[in-house]
Structure 1
């Protein structure tokens, strides 16, 4: 892959990659299913019946399905820039899709709300620092006061060899019958070259700068971190 655009095209637009996404995402993220279940429980702490939830990076529909199954009265607006991934989300949701409105684009494509909660899972590391700030601010503006916001992405220390160590662990975790060591190594190189990965402390400060409070770590899996905070 020669550029970030090539990497994103291969990961989220190429038919072969999209077709495999439902199976490949859990391979890449330690504790993937448990992380999503924890996210649903954190939403349920604050979101009442008939709540409306904004899901940024909704392509594939995996977290949408978990959330919709967790609470049968919640409704959702899901946003994703990939038409192919949005089609996959519809397939993943099946009959649950009747409670979901899908929007092609980035955060600005989302309705203004106000929403009872929002999530942004495995998405922010694709945005550079300035875009990330803009995304967090735009999400905050669409939330009701005290609404929970859940975010999960690649985040780890960048000094004293930590970046190299965590990326190597990330690649090693991916190796299994469906992903050989060479494929995992190639993916690791692309992640290193094209994704924006920050120190966890910087991720927390960005949430606070965007207007979120009570930032709390709820998930850590090798190279990934997840926080809940409140508007």
Structure 2
């Protein structure tokens, strides 16, 4: 599977830039916590695929002291930041860290839920996207939910309102142009119907929305 690596300065500045790159980024995390709070018991294990610098874990763990986490991240530089943030928050005994992709996590894991935010549009091609989703499904308990935040442009086109929002969020003209060029040229963003088909093939039910901002969709998909 293609493994996008965020390294160097990109990793170091990720947390300071992400709010200007993804509309509703913080709200999406809050609603993820709200949805999982309804779905999960007080004691639960959450797989985090593409854990990045650990924002999902810090938000979830801070509000749910009985939850444990398996954090999977392929980028060593992002992982170093994640480890430092986990240690600073005193969460080392609740977070298992796996350097690599989901397939590198324990095959015997049966997590109660998975968070996979801002991952699938970086994975090239349906075969690798499906492998990613199947690896998650194999590590979830039956009936467990996958909560994922994905860029799903309608009709596969870039919405000019996204660029307008980026400028309002504080990006310069040059930064917004670079963002648009990267999305158009480097991402493999699926339309909603295409992703739903991949989820079904991987063993998940129909995705249910819990968040949307422009073409970013927060979806909850239950493992069969």
| Structure 1 ranges of 4+ moved more than 3 A | none
Please state how far the C-alpha of 1:171 moved relative to its aligned partner.
2.5
Cα RMSD between the aligned structures? 1.8
Please state how far the C-alpha of 1:204 moved relative to its aligned partner.
1.6
Residue aligned with 2:155, SS = coil
Equivalent pairs, count: 218
Q: Is the Cα–Cα contact under 8 Å of residues 158 and 198 in structure 1 kept in the other structure?
A: no
What are the within-5 Å matches in structure 2 for residues 34-53 of structure 1?
34-53=27-46
Report what 1:149 is aligned to.
146
Which has more helix, going by share of residues? 1
Please state how far the C-alpha of 1:147 moved relative to its aligned partner.
0.6
Does 1:89 pair with 2:82?
Answer: yes
Does 1:121 pair with 2:117?
Answer: yes
Does 1:13 pair with 2:7?
Answer: yes
Does 1:202 pair with 2:194?
Answer: yes
Q: Is the Cα–Cα contact under 8 Å of residues 209 and 218 in structure 2 kept in the other structure?
A: yes
Report what 1:103 is aligned to.
98
CA 1:200–1:190 in 2, change beyond 3 Å: closer, same or farther?
same
Please give the TM-score of this superposition, normalised by the length of structure 2: 0.91
CA 1:177–1:199 in 2, change beyond 3 Å: closer, same or farther?
closer
Please state how far the C-alpha of 1:72 moved relative to its aligned partner.
0.5
Please give the TM-score of this superposition, normalised by the length of structure 1: 0.88
Report what 2:16 is aligned to.
23
Q: Please identify, of 135-144 and 17-26, the stretch whose mean Cα deviation from structure 2 is larger.
A: 17-26
CA 1:92–1:171 in 2, change beyond 3 Å: closer, same or farther?
farther
Please state how far the C-alpha of 1:153 moved relative to its aligned partner.
1.3
CA 1:98–1:27 in 2, change beyond 3 Å: closer, same or farther?
farther
Residue aligned with 2:189, SS = coil
Please state how far the C-alpha of 1:221 moved relative to its aligned partner.
0.9
Gapped regions of structure 1 (runs ≥ 5): none
Q: Is the Cα–Cα contact under 8 Å of residues 208 and 215 in structure 1 kept in the other structure?
A: no
